[in-house]
Amino acid sequence: MYILLVFIFMLGFFERFAPGAFASDLMVEFKITGATLGSITAVYFVTYTALQIPAGVLADRVGPKKIVSTGAIIAGLGSLIFSLSPTLALISFGRFLVGLGGATVFIGIMKFNTQWFNKKNYGMISGVTLLLGNLGAAISAGPLAVLLSYVTWRNTFLTTGVTAISLGILIYLFVENSPKDAGFNQNMNDSRTEGMKEKWYKELIQVFLNKDIWPIFIASIGTNATFYAFAGLWGIPLLTDSFDLSNKQASLNTTIGLTAYGFFSLVIGWWSDKAGTRKPFVIGSSLISALGWLGLIILPWQPGWSGILLYLMIGLAAAQMVVSFAVVKEVVPSWVAGMALALVNTGVFLAVSLIQPLFGLMIDLSWSGAWMDGARQYSFENYRSGLWLTFAISFAGLIASFFVTETYCGEKEVRDIQKKASSI
């Protein structure tokens, strides 16, 4: 069941990033500018972000089986429309459906994990899930670029669509929401009785009012959203403009940061589960993130090993997200885990979409007025203003990390009872 779900998750990441690999083909074929192309691909992100919380509610109420299978089929149809479309309007509609269907997948699989895996392994399984998803994104960059010399982007998306629909059908046939649904006697991680059921919107309000969620929400933005925003847009131009590097040379730093992010996602989840604690990992990664951003501002670094080390620090710290998801799931009752995970994921997505333009605004505000080849010429000093912004956000995250509730990997109640007993 997990393999089927993780395949559709990887395919979703692939669909999310794949247009980057054939951006020029789209611009030539449809005679559009970069800005128009950007708006078409953004349709995915807007839809995906807006639907996270509804997907969380559905994951809790309807369960992963139905929402992920339906989402996979909708995303598959979106890919088919995208691949066959003769017009821009249909291309955008296809992209909208891919975002709509894709929105259910991450929350669905995270909810599935809460039901089917021992709660002591939730950190590790979240790490494995995020790593595999990111592998889907990695495939959409290099390997897809090679594949596109042999097949067209239309055929690639046609295949993706058929695969997603097939996976949707298989998920419907073979995935069960919980051990109980699969015919086992009881659910290991869900102790709710019928009498405890509330209206969905009341539960959603309770999630929003849960004071244990907000510190981890802010800490995750401090580490993960700052890194995503930087790696996804400003990390490479900072190096090319400040140190006169080629795009290829400059991409080494972000690639190393992203690799550290992927690898450490696996390690941090497993390590935190094994240590039986969450908070030290949250504080530690927030500290590494803040120091990394501060280092980029005040140290006399160069693109070589010193720059790589700083990019590596902020990438490594972003893996905190794995522990964050575990904390979020552990501070709420299991039956609202989907909504709570969705809330934090929405926060990170929204923050990325705000940090990227704000970083741009900061460098624009400090721009000296110099032009080169018709484009604004930015120096490291200008980028430094943007880095102050990411540092400030990561510092706020560091402060918030000290307020994160220690859940002892879901064993908080057990620890509290033991503590009380030993104090008597």
Ligand X SMILES: NCCCC[C@H](N)C(=O)NCC(=O)O
**Rule CB under 6 A: which residues touch ligand X?**
106, 130, 224, 228, 321, 345, 348-349, 352
Give the Cα separation of 238 and 235 in Å (integer).
Answer: 6
Give the Cα separation of 423 and 418 in Å (integer).
Answer: 9
Minimum distance from CB of 321 to ligand X (Å)? 4
Phi, then psi, of 372 in degrees rounded to 5: -145, 130
Q: Which residue is nearest to ligand X (CB)?
A: 106
DSSP, collapsed to helix, strand or coil, labels residue 71 as helix
Q: Taking the alpha carbons of 322, 328, 331, 337 in that order, is the dihedral positive or negative?
A: negative
Please identify, using beta-carbon distances, which residue of 7 and 378 lies nearer to ligand X: 7
Give the strand pairing for 375-376 and 371-372: antiparallel
Please identify, using beta-carbon distances, which residue of 2 and 243 lies nearer to ligand X: 2
Give the Cα separation of 424 and 229 in Å (integer).
Answer: 50
Q: Are 119 and 409 in contact (CB under 8 A)?
A: yes
Please identify, using beta-carbon distances, which residue of 122 and 228 lies nearer to ligand X: 228
Cβ neighbours of residue 85 closer than 8 Å, sequence gap 6 or more:
91, 93, 94
Please identify, using beta-carbon distances, which residue of 12 and 76 lies nearer to ligand X: 12
Minimum distance from CB of 84 to ligand X (Å)? 26
Minimum distance from CB of 9 to ligand X (Å)? 8
Please identify, using beta-carbon distances, which residue of 292 and 303 lies nearer to ligand X: 292
Minimum distance from CB of 108 to ligand X (Å)? 11
Please identify, using beta-carbon distances, which residue of 44 and 311 lies nearer to ligand X: 44
Q: Are 372 and 264 in contact (CB under 8 A)?
A: no
Minimum distance from CB of 345 to ligand X (Å)? 5
Q: Are 295 and 278 in contact (CB under 8 A)?
A: no
